């Protein structure tokens, strides 16, 4: 399977412009043969554009989510639509299973090649340190995995990386590729690289960490989107510029590594 991480620039609060960027990136990835494209966390509004969260929020079937579903179908790719601000009341009114009947969530959606919604993940761990996310948003309550191109794809978002037990739960669900749409800022470069690699090593799985490449009033995202194999080896990575990170993944690699180094079988609880 060919995987593409779209490391996108973002304009704070301008959903249309940001989705336009995503559309161009997905088209480029499809032209390069990508089967699955991963977009960054809150690429639609910009993570640090807190004052725009409520204004741009919508239900899970809203116009932005629908536009992204059409984007997957138009290019015949799987698309993990990084995340967008979801209005839980609108989603609940439309019959969606939500963690609350009101409030906002940081929501990533996995669309298949036909644009059908296959998984919804609402960020579990909300960032509180010098950030309004924990105050403005409602945390999710359920894991999200989906079968795609021979992989069981697990979904997580950014700050989740600091909680290894979350990734072990995904591994217990059979995840062989974990995608991590993110908005990770400077100066925590070493944290970004170390935590992403550690989650791959300890769970003997692929980890695809897709970060943004944008500057906001109070923060700059550090880019460095990277794909790690089950040994923690870097397969492809970027600097801090807007770009695509493209690499090939082999689903059989997971079983081979776990057979050679069966650490998961030695686990004791």
Cα 128 to chain center, whole Å? 19
147 - beta bridge partners? 152
Catalytic residue among 58, 86, 133, 158: 158
Please write the tens of the pLDDT for every residue from 134-148.
999 999 999 999 999
Cβ burial, residue 143 (10 Å; 0-12/13-18/19+): middle
16 C-beta neighbours (distance < 10 Å), count = 11
Which pLDDT score is estimated for 129?
77
| Element at 74 (helix H, strand E) | helix 63-75
- The span from the CA of 78 to the CA of 12, in Å, is 26
Catalytic residue among 58, 123, 133, 179: 123
Residue with tokens 């995987």: 3
Reduced to 3 states (helix: H, G, I; strand: E, B; else coil), residue 165 is helix
pLDDT at 174 over 80: yes
**Is 123 considered catalytic here?**
yes
Which pLDDT score is estimated for 218?
87
- The span from the CA of 35 to the CA of 29, in Å, is 9
| Element at 166 (helix H, strand E) | helix 164-172
**Is 41 considered catalytic here?**
yes
Q: Give the gyration radius of the chain's Cα atoms.
A: 17
User: HEC string of 93-151?
Assistant: HCCCCCCCCCCEEEEEEEECCCCCEEEEEECCCCCCCCCCHHHHCCCCCCCCEEEECCE
Confidence of residue 186 (pLDDT cuts 50, 70, 90): very high
Domains of the chain: 2-266 (3.60.110.10)
pLDDT at 131 over 90: no
User: HEC string of 11-44?
Assistant: CCCCHHHHHHHHHHHHHHHHHCCCCEEECCCCCC
Catalytic residue among 41, 58, 86, 133: 41
**Is 2 considered catalytic here?**
no
DSSP code for 157 = -
Which pLDDT score is estimated for 209?
99
Q: What are the C-alpha distances in Å from 69 to residues 80, 112, 253, 268? A: 10, 8, 30, 41
Reduced to 3 states (helix: H, G, I; strand: E, B; else coil), residue 79 is strand
- Cα angle 147-153-158, degrees, rounded to a multiple of 5: 155
Please write the tens of the pLDDT for every residue from 55-97.
999 999 999 999 999 999 999 999 999 999 999 999 999 999 9
């Amino acid at each position: 399977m060919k995987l593409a991480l779209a490391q996108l620039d973002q304009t704070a609060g301008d959903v249309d412009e940001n989705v336009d960027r995503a559309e161009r990136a997905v088209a480029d990835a499809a032209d390069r043969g990508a089967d699955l494209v991963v977009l960054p966390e809150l690429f639609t509004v910009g993570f640090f554009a807190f004052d725009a969260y409520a204004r741009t929020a919508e239900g899970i079937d809203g116009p932005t989510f629908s536009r992204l579903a059409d984007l997957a179908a138009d290019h015949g790719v799987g698309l993990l639509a990084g995340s967008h601000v979801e209005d839980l009341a609108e989603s609940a009114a439309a019959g969606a299973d939500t963690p609350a009947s009101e409030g906002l969530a940081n929501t990533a959606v996995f669309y298949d090649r036909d644009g059908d919604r296959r998984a919804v993940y609402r960020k579990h761990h909300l960032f509180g340190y010098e950030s309004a996310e924990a105050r403005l948003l409602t945390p999710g309550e359920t894991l999200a995995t989906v079968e795609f191109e021979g992989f069981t794809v697990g979904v997580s978002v950014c700050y989740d990386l600091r909680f290894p037990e979350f990734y072990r739960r995904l591994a217990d669900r059979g995840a062989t590729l974990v995608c991590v749409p993110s908005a990770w800022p400077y100066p925590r470069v070493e944290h970004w690289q170390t935590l992403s690699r550690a989650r791959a090593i300890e769970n003997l799985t692929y980890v695809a960490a897709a970060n943004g490449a944008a500057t906001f009033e109070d923060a700059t995202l550090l880019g460095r989107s990277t794909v790690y194999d089950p040994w923690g080896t870097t397969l492809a990575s970027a600097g801090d510029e807007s770009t695509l990170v493209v690499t090939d993944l082999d689903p059989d690699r997971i079983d081979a590594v776990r057979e050679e180094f069966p650490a998961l079988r030695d686990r004791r609880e």
